[in-house]
Chains A and B, each alone.
Chain A
């Protein structure tokens, strides 16, 4: 889904929920002029964002030491980050490990890649 600024009509599959609505977005001079096909406001929001500034939640795991039950703790970006930052987030996590105990929501990496978004734990270990 290449992102360019020419005036055009684009069809997207909404990923905000598993329903996967087919959305048509019309852009003129890089400005969104219409969004159709969505069945909820989240779809409208997604479509506008996807054609101007696509974002994703990133999930991964990092090693946890001293836990009786886990060797890895799952983590996520607490909010979406720009799609172009996804690999950067994973790379930033490559040098991270944590000590047990870890609780869901604990900040594992603050302000990851300067996005202003924290990476937080998603599992109790």
Chain B
């Protein structure tokens, strides 16, 4: 066991954990984030709709409603400080029958109560101008101009890199196996050693109930709810201009159709409660449902352009609200749990709220603890985006580092220079590169670039070779053996 006693240990490096870490970093103290996977953003945060919700959906008065609207409002500043992709493109909730109109009115009213600005109902004619491919059945829609889309990987990675730059420590491949409290000190046991802290934050996503129930007698249950998606090529990316929802039903928000910040078209999700917490497989039935239900709001979706399908698990709780706060029977143990949709949107506000609760815990015993730091640097430099640099800017980058002149990913226009930069900032697997730069996410799905990406990973990380380099951490190696044992012989063998 280390002698260090951390002020706060955050369990889970998804978007909530990383947002919390960055908010903690604004204060004096020693902070550690423990992550079971090999990288940040490997659970619920990586496979979702990537929507920045306006906030008309959640029940007024819930934590979900408040943090959604607060979080949404923080995105502009966050984008400026952290340089991740975010576009406030607006959303439409489409109503396809006059009978269902009261549902739109209900949403409009709920949105106003939640403090969402700019909401109004658009009639078919205007709707058709906004979305020429809207369903022939569409009669009206709720227009929410404050809604947006973002890059959930980009956001989480930016929060992580900024927190780390400000002194927060991160340990990966460190799943938590036990939690115990001795007086004011928590002991966290992981596969990578034991750590102690005055305060523990449970941001473990779908596993947050397991972690919570290690610390508290008041049982928490998280129900993994699977959502399946189809991602279409950029050739289909302009099929809709805004995020198009169906009027919500009893199983979530229904299937949405949206452009992504990478220029693709995303369609999904389904909503199926599943047994396993790793049950992120797609199903033939689920993908068929996605296609059928999407057609209810948007016509002629070119599913021929599908480049991949995926699914993610939402950390659902029966009460359908975020579960944030210090456990009554476990002082110093702070839950940040049941962060399901709109968790991504709310994450900046969640980070603030959780960090503030940690501050309360720490100052309880030491009023001088957790003082604001004057030297906190809120800014993080994003990765170069070759889609938006000018020719002169690109040439200047190449002059400084010729690796920016060699393209590796032809589909998403990513150079060797960016991949090496991602490696230097800590990416150690192909999926880690993918989440930072989009490599292997394009239309060839890695068919062309994977071998080159493997080589670069091995060159940048001397402890890796072609046999040990992985897709997403230990157990996901690409190669099993050299085809020939390089020994002896030569020409006279």
**Residues of B contacting A98 in the complex (Cβ-Cβ under 8 angstroms):** 489-491
Check if A95 sits within 8 Å of B487, measured CB to CB. yes
Among the 9-residue stretches B230-238, B324-332, B357-365, B478-486, the one with 4 or more Cβ atoms under 8 Å from chain A is B478-486
Check if B484 sits within 8 Å of A108, measured CB to CB. no
Q: How far is the CB of A97 from chain B (nearest CB, A)?
A: 5
**Residues of B contacting A95 in the complex (Cβ-Cβ under 8 angstroms):** 485, 487-489, 493
**Residues of B contacting A61 in the complex (Cβ-Cβ under 8 angstroms):** 483-484
**Residues of B contacting A72 in the complex (Cβ-Cβ under 8 angstroms):** 483-484
Residue of A nearest to B485 (CB): A94
- Kindly state whether residue A96 has any CB partner on chain B within 8 Å: yes
Known: A107-B491, A108-B491, A109-B493. A97 touches B483 (CB 8 A): no
- Among A97, A99, A108, which residue has its beta carbon within 8 angstroms of that of B488? A97
Count of A-B contacts judged by CB separation below 8 Å: 38
Q: How far is the CA of A41 from the CA of B490 in the complex (A)?
A: 39
- Kindly state whether residue A63 has any CB partner on chain B within 8 Å: yes
Chain A window 82-107, contacts with chain B (Cβ cutoff 8 Å), 1 for yes, 0 for no: 00000000000111111100000011
Check if B491 sits within 8 Å of A62, measured CB to CB. no
Q: How far is the CA of A48 from the CA of B493 in the complex (A)?
A: 34
**Residues of A contacting B490 in the complex (Cβ-Cβ under 8 angstroms):** 96-99
Q: How far is the CB of A2 from chain B (nearest CB, A)?
A: 30
Q: How far is the CA of A98 from the CA of B488 in the complex (A)?
A: 9
**Residues of A contacting B482 in the complex (Cβ-Cβ under 8 angstroms):** 63
Q: How far is the CA of A109 from the CA of B492 in the complex (A)?
A: 7
- Among A65, A93, A106, A107, which residue has its beta carbon within 8 angstroms of that of B484? A93
Q: How far is the CB of B469 from chain A (nearest CB, A)?
A: 15
Q: How far is the CB of A114 from chain B (nearest CB, A)?
A: 15
**Residues of B contacting A109 in the complex (Cβ-Cβ under 8 angstroms):** 493
Q: In this complex, which of A65, A96, A108 has the most chain B Cβ atoms within 10 angstroms of its Cβ?
A: A96
Q: How far is the CA of A103 from the CA of B154 in the complex (A)?
A: 47
Chain A window 105-125, contacts with chain B (Cβ cutoff 8 Å), 1 for yes, 0 for no: 011110000000000000000
- Among A60, A97, A106, A107, which residue has its beta carbon within 8 angstroms of that of B489? A97
Check if B491 sits within 8 Å of A63, measured CB to CB. no
Residue of B nearest to A109 (CB): B493
Check if B493 sits within 8 Å of A63, measured CB to CB. no
Q: How far is the CB of B109 from chain A (nearest CB, A)?
A: 66
Q: How far is the CA of A98 from the CA of B492 in the complex (A)?
A: 10
Q: How far is the CA of A5 from the CA of B328 in the complex (A)?
A: 86
Q: How far is the CA of A78 from the CA of B489 in the complex (A)?
A: 19
Q: How far is the CA of A109 from the CA of B484 in the complex (A)?
A: 15
**Residues of A contacting B483 in the complex (Cβ-Cβ under 8 angstroms):** 60-61, 72
Q: How far is the CB of B225 from chain A (nearest CB, A)?
A: 47
Q: How far is the CA of A95 from the CA of B492 in the complex (A)?
A: 11
Interface residues in B206-263 by Cβ distance below 8 A to A read none
Q: How far is the CA of A96 from the CA of B493 in the complex (A)?
A: 6
Chain B window 453-493, contacts with chain A (Cβ cutoff 8 Å), 1 for yes, 0 for no: 00000000000000000000000000000111111111101
**Residues of B contacting A107 in the complex (Cβ-Cβ under 8 angstroms):** 491
Interface residues in B384-420 by Cβ distance below 8 A to A read none
Q: How far is the CB of A80 from chain B (nearest CB, A)?
A: 22
Residue of A nearest to B489 (CB): A96
**Residues of A contacting B489 in the complex (Cβ-Cβ under 8 angstroms):** 95-98
Residue of B nearest to A102 (CB): B491
Q: How far is the CB of B485 from chain A (nearest CB, A)?
A: 6
Q: How far is the CB of B188 from chain A (nearest CB, A)?
A: 44
**Residues of A contacting B487 in the complex (Cβ-Cβ under 8 angstroms):** 95, 97
Q: List 25 A-B contacts (CB under 8 A).
A: A60-B483, A60-B484, A61-B483, A62-B484, A63-B482, A63-B484, A65-B486, A72-B483, A72-B484, A95-B489, A95-B493, A96-B484, A96-B488, A96-B489, A96-B490, A97-B484, A97-B487, A97-B488, A97-B489, A97-B490, A98-B489, A98-B491, A99-B490, A108-B491, A109-B493
Residues of B within 8 A of A (CB): 482-491, 493
